[in-house]
Amino acid sequence: MKLTIREKGCFGVGAFSKDIFSVVITSYLMVFYTDVFGLSASLAGMVLMITRLIDALSNPVLGSLMDRTSTRWGRFRPYLFVVPIPFCIFTILTFWTPDLSVGMKFIYALITFNIAGLCFTCIDVAIWGLVPNLTRDGEERSQLIALSRAFSNLAGMVFAPVVIPLVIFFGGGNDAHGWLWLGVVVGILSILFSWMLFFNTREIHRTTAVESPPFAKAIRQVFRNPAVGCVVLAMTTFGLGVGLQNAVGIYYMKYYLRLPDAIPIYIFMSYSCKVIGALIAPLAIARLGNCRSAFATFAIMGGISLCMIFAPIAYPIVYFALAALFALGIGILLVAITGMMAETSDRIEAVSGQRNDGMLFSLNALSMQTGFALSGALAGFILQLSGYVPNQPVQSDSSLAAINFIRCLGPALFCFMVLFAFRLYPAGNGKISPCGDEMPDASSPR
C-alpha cells in the first residue's frame, strides 16, 4: 500500500519538531553559553563535547531498546508520544540562566543539556527507525528521507533567522530572560509536531514477522557488515566538517566579515539551500545511487571549502555564493547517507533474516553526534588558544585566522579524508569496491 500525502507530510512535520531544537543548538548554543550564560569558550566547548559524547554512547542502547519494543502502536511510534514531554522541560532548563558560580554553571549546563540531548536522540532514532517500517518501496523511502531532511532544514530556514529577534522581543533588553522564553516556545512546538507524527502514521509490519536479535548478536551483525563501517565513517566525518563550520559560522560573519546585521540573511540562505539540496537529492540518487551521490558530493564540498579560504573580505558576495553551494551539498549528503543506512538494514535482513533498524539508525545518529561533539570541542579550544575575547568588536589577527581556519580549511580536510571510507561499501556481488551496485530488495528470495 502506497503512503498517503498526509502520512508523508506528517513524517516531515515530525522532523521539523525535533530540528527546531537542533537549529538553536548548532547555530546559537555556543554563543549563548559564552555571551549570555557566562562560560568561557573552552568550558562551553567542553559542555558540547561531553554532552555529545555521552549522547552518542547512549545511541546503540536506545536503538536496541526500540528494536525490542512491541506495542499495539508499533516499535518506534510510542517514543514519539512520551519522550517529547521531558524533552520540552529540559529544553527550557537548558536556556535558563541561574545565578551560580562558574563551576556550578558548568555542572548545571552539563546536566540540563545532557538530558535534553538524550531526549532529542530518542526522538531522532524513533523517526528514522520508522522509515523502513512505513514502506518497503525504495522510491518511497527516498521520498520520506528527502522530505524529512527538507523539513529539518526548513526548520532552520524559518526559525534560525528569527531566533535573535525573538530573544530581543521576549527579553525586552534582558537577554537571559529572552533565551528562557525562546526555550519555552521550542519545547511546546516540539511536543505538538511530534504528536502530529504519532497520530497520523502506522507501522505496517515486522513486530512479529521479523525478530530483533539479542543485543550482543545485533552488535556482531552490525559491525561485521562493511557497509556499516562506510556509513559510520561517512556520517562521523560529515559531523566533523559541518560541525566546525556550524560552530564558528556566526563568529565568521560577526568578526571576520564584520557583517553582524547580515547573520539572519546568511542563516536563511544556508537553510534554504539545504532544503533545495534535500529535495533534489532523490533525482541524483535515482541516477547515481546513494553511495555514488554521497561520494561525489563530498568531493565537490571539499573543493568549495578550499575556495572559501581565499574569498576576499571586501567582496562578501563571493563567500555567500560558496556557502550556498556548500549548504546545497549538505542537503544532498543527509539524504544519501541516510539512504545508505536503510539499504544496509535490508542487506543485513537478506543475510540473517533479522532486522536492526533501531540499532543502525542509532549508529547513524551516534556518528553525526560524535563528529559534532569533537568539532565543537576543537573549535572552542582553537578559539581559546587564539586569544578570542567574547563580545569584543575587533578581534586579534590570530583570532581571525583561527576563525577562518575552522570555518574553511577544517571542513575541506574532512571532506577529502572521508572519500577513502567509501572503499568499504560492498558491491552487490560481494566484492569490496567504491560504491558498488545497490543491494537488491531484502524481500526478494534469499
Residues 228 and 154 both lie in one domain: no
Cα distance between residue 144 and residue 182, in whole Å: 29
Instruction: Give me the pLDDT at residue 441, please.
Output: 43
- Strand runs (DSSP E) across 225-329, as ranges? none
Instruction: Give me the pLDDT at residue 428, please.
Output: 46
Residues 122 and 250 both lie in one domain: no
CB atoms within 10 A of CB 324: 17
Q: Hey, what amino acid is at 78?
A: P
The tens place of each residue's pLDDT in the chain, 446 residues long, gives 677 888 888 888 888 877 888 878 877 888 899 889 988 888 888 898 888 778 777 877 887 788 777 788 888 888 999 999 999 999 999 999 998 898 999 999 999 999 998 898 889 888 888 877 787 776 787 788 888 888 887 887 788 778 888 999 998 889 899 999 999 999 999 999 899 988 888 887 554 444 555 656 666 666 677 778 888 888 888 889 888 888 888 888 888 888 888 887 888 888 889 889 988 998 888 888 888 999 999 999 999 999 998 888 888 899 999 999 999 999 999 889 888 887 877 777 777 666 666 777 777 777 887 788 788 888 888 888 888 887 788 888 888 888 888 888 889 999 998 888 887 776 543 333 445 544 444 444 33
Residues facing 74 on adjacent strands: 71
Cα distance between residue 308 and residue 400, in whole Å: 14
Give first-to-last CA distance, the chain, whole Å: 23
Residues 154 and 256 both lie in one domain: no
Residues 375 and 305 both lie in one domain: yes
Residue 416 has which C-alpha cell?
A: 577529502
Q: Quote the crossing angle between the two packed helices 5-32 and 163-171, to the nearest 10°.
A: 70
299 belongs to a structural domain = yes
Residues 137 and 69 both lie in one domain: yes
440 belongs to a structural domain = no
432 belongs to a structural domain = no
Residues 184 and 226 both lie in one domain: no
The tally of domains found in the chain comes to 2
Cα distance between residue 299 and residue 291, in whole Å: 13
Residues 74 and 122 both lie in one domain: yes
443 belongs to a structural domain = no
| Number of helices and strands in the chain (H, E) | 16, 0
Instruction: Give me the pLDDT at residue 432, please.
Output: 37
210 belongs to a structural domain = no
Residues 277 and 163 both lie in one domain: no
Instruction: Give me the pLDDT at residue 215, please.
Output: 58
Instruction: Give me the pLDDT at residue 427, please.
Output: 55
| CATH number assigned to the domain comprising residue 321 | 1.20.1250.20
Q: Quote the crossing angle between the two packed helices 175-199 and 102-134, to the nearest 10°.
A: 20
Task: Supply the pTM of this predicted model.
Answer: 0.71
331 belongs to a structural domain = yes
In terms of residue numbers, what domain contains 155?
1-201
Residues 185 and 80 both lie in one domain: yes
Residues 169 and 283 both lie in one domain: no
Residues 191 and 248 both lie in one domain: no
438 belongs to a structural domain = no
444 belongs to a structural domain = no
Cα distance between residue 333 and residue 373, in whole Å: 19
Q: Hey, what amino acid is at 439?
A: M
Residues 127 and 250 both lie in one domain: no
Residue 260 has which C-alpha cell?
A: 553582524
Instruction: Give me the pLDDT at residue 444, please.
Output: 40
